[in-house]
Structure 1
Amino acid sequence: MTTGRKLTSGLIRLLLCAFVATLTLHLPAAAQQPGVHVPNFWDPKAVHDRPTSIPDKIQFLATDSYPPFVFRDPQGRLTGFNVDLARALCQELGSSCALRIKDFDVLLPALEEDEGDAVISGLSRGLPNTRRLNFTEDYLKLPARFVVREADLEAFDEQDLDGKTIAVETGSRFEAFANRFWPEANVEAFETAAEAREAVKGGTVDTHFGDGLSLSFWLPSEAAANCCAFAGGPWLEAGYFDQGMAIATRSNDPERAAALNYALRQLYQKGIYQELYLRYFPLSFY
């Protein structure tokens, strides 16, 4: 099965680069502190009753090569944001929990053949072979962000970029968005996102517009050398940056999807989601 890998090939590249190198955003009180921004994808005013049907067990399916979501630590133990999130969901529901590792290409067949109950591995809901699945609400979205040099941070205004040079990765959604929404800016396309980041670091462009997750790992890295910081944003415009990460279940298993949705909201309300987010993304990309 080759189509499975195409589901999130772009996302996979972003996640690997990140570790190695229309939505209203609600921020809780703790997120108002400088430098601490935790997203909330659930309506804070909504009231949801605990489902009457809770699964006794949830067998999650994932692949283990996509840090910081699912990967193996130096001792070979499974860890990552999705691993801890799956464990917390089961604890919230009182269900026993297991995580089975599969190659990305066979995650969907494994789900369809009842080898697991839910895929927590960044499947895209927008493609034909996933439209027959049930998806939970998004538990994480991957926004676009601007970065600028620290010296330029105070003067930067993302609403007024006329004449400014924006570095983007060629052929990316970031390039398409910048060309459409900042037509008076000079959009300079680079072969890779790494080259675009180096351009803003070196001062040959005014700003770089790219994947917030990847940038959150680049900014504190030795490669960035404390050159730059996030500015403005986050950008989550529909059709460009609104596809998020969700948990997929079989179409004939709506009760499990409903239970997971309930548990996701509960984890946020109890502060557990915030704790996990800041554990794996200490420099928030929101």
Structure 2
Amino acid sequence: MILAAIWACWTSAALGQAVPNHADPSAREILPNPVPVPAIRFLTSADFPPFNFRDETGALVGFNIDLARRICEEVDVPCTVQAWPWEQAADALADNQGDALIAGLALSPENGERFDFSSIYLALPGRFVTQADAARGFDPSALTGARISVRRGSAHEEFLQRYLAHATLAPMDDEIAALEAVKAGEADAYFGDAMRASFWLNDNLACCSFAGEAYFRPELFGKGLAIAVPAGHDTVRHAIDWALVRLKEGGSLDELYLRWFPVGFY
């Protein structure tokens, strides 16, 4: 049910992996007026690869950076992207130092009191990781007695306790240790944040793979990534939502996803 609410459809890409479709279909009726949106000043941070970071030349790059620029191109307005220290970025947006913050700001009640948010452009599912051979024909209902590594105290551990009580959990202090346990054969499977697991898999494709489907539980894993705007700045927010729909329909959103996430986490 949660999957149906968040996930509009699965599409095929050149690499044969699923790509997200989170743009709100109703937003296609929101046609931004170019007059009240003369430009969009995006704020971000520079410490969260592959979303927003500096490359070896010092240039600001990443999925979020490319997405911000594509949004401006779609709305046909000038665009700036300025990096702030993460701990200062939200306050800078609130102080009108920018028009939008694209840096993974949590969609929390506290942030909702300060900002409005665009539609979600990337959800954050949980997924299993196993050794490559075990990924073929993977069936989570057959994990009775299996040893599943997971980050201790995480929402993913809570998920396993709720829905896979027949499995043996092996809580570990961090996600890398839990993933390495699968690689070493000390755990039969890992369950955790699919996005972060994809980064690890990118360096460990010879041993391991995602197994089974993606699990979407916003109440546990978070609602996903959206763009924050100052509360009441509906013109900018509507323009961003409209652009996200257009970018999805034209394939640009999928292109960016496949470029920055070669090991897709959907």
Q: TM over 0.5: same fold?
A: yes
Aligned length: 262
Tell me which of 37, 43, 47 is aligned to 1:55. Answer: 37
Deviations 1:211-257 (A, max 9, x none): 11122121131xx3611111112111131124211111111211110
What does residue 213 of structure 2 align with? 233
What does residue 16 of structure 1 align with? none
Question: In structure 2, what residue type is equivalent to 1:108?
Answer: A
Trace 1:26-175 onto structure 2 (pairs within 5 A): 26-27=8-9, 29-31=11-13, 35-42=16-23, 47-52=28-33, 55-175=37-157
- Shift of residue 26, structure 1, vs aligned partner: 3.6
* 1:39 partner SS: coil
Cα distance in 2 for partners of 1:63, 1:239 equals 26
Question: In structure 2, what residue type is equivalent to 1:30?
Answer: S
Deviations 1:35-59 (A, max 9, x none): 4211111356875242345511000
What does residue 246 of structure 2 align with? 266
Q: Assess if the C-alpha contact under 8 Å between 2:105 and 2:226 holds in 1.
A: yes
- Shift of residue 179, structure 1, vs aligned partner: 0.9
What does residue 15 of structure 1 align with? none
Residue 280 to residue 218, structure 1, CA distance change in 2 (3 Å) = same
Cα distance in 2 for partners of 1:111, 1:161 equals 46
Question: In structure 1, what residue type is equivalent to 2:191?
Answer: F
- Shift of residue 131, structure 1, vs aligned partner: 2.4
Question: In structure 2, what residue type is equivalent to 1:131?
Answer: E
Tell me which of 151, 168, 178 is aligned to 1:196. Answer: 178
Q: Identity, % of aligned pairs?
A: 38
Q: CA RMSD in A?
A: 1.9
Cα distance in 2 for partners of 1:214, 1:39 equals 16
Q: Assess if the C-alpha contact under 8 Å between 1:60 and 1:118 holds in 2.
A: yes
Q: Assess if the C-alpha contact under 8 Å between 2:27 and 2:245 holds in 1.
A: no
Cα distance in 2 for partners of 1:123, 1:45 equals 24
**Which consecutive unaligned segments of at least 5 residues does structure 1 have?**
1-21
- Shift of residue 106, structure 1, vs aligned partner: 1.5
Deviations 1:124-177 (A, max 9, x none): 121424423110011111111101111212242023322211110111111111
- Shift of residue 84, structure 1, vs aligned partner: 0.4
What does residue 227 of structure 2 align with? 247
Question: In structure 1, what residue type is equivalent to 2:223?
Answer: Q
* 1:268 partner SS: helix
In the alignment, is residue 279 of structure 1 matched against residue 221 of structure 2?
A: no
Cα distance in 2 for partners of 1:275, 1:129 equals 30
Cα distance in 1 for partners of 2:71, 2:61 equals 15
Cα distance in 1 for partners of 2:242, 2:55 equals 30
Cα distance in 1 for partners of 2:24, 2:117 equals 18
Q: Assess if the C-alpha contact under 8 Å between 1:220 and 1:226 holds in 2.
A: no
Q: Assess if the C-alpha contact under 8 Å between 2:27 and 2:238 holds in 1.
A: no
Cα distance in 2 for partners of 1:47, 1:220 equals 35
Question: In structure 1, what residue type is equivalent to 2:19?
Answer: V
Q: Assess if the C-alpha contact under 8 Å between 1:142 and 1:244 holds in 2.
A: yes
Q: Assess if the C-alpha contact under 8 Å between 1:27 and 1:37 holds in 2.
A: no
Cα distance in 2 for partners of 1:248, 1:75 equals 28
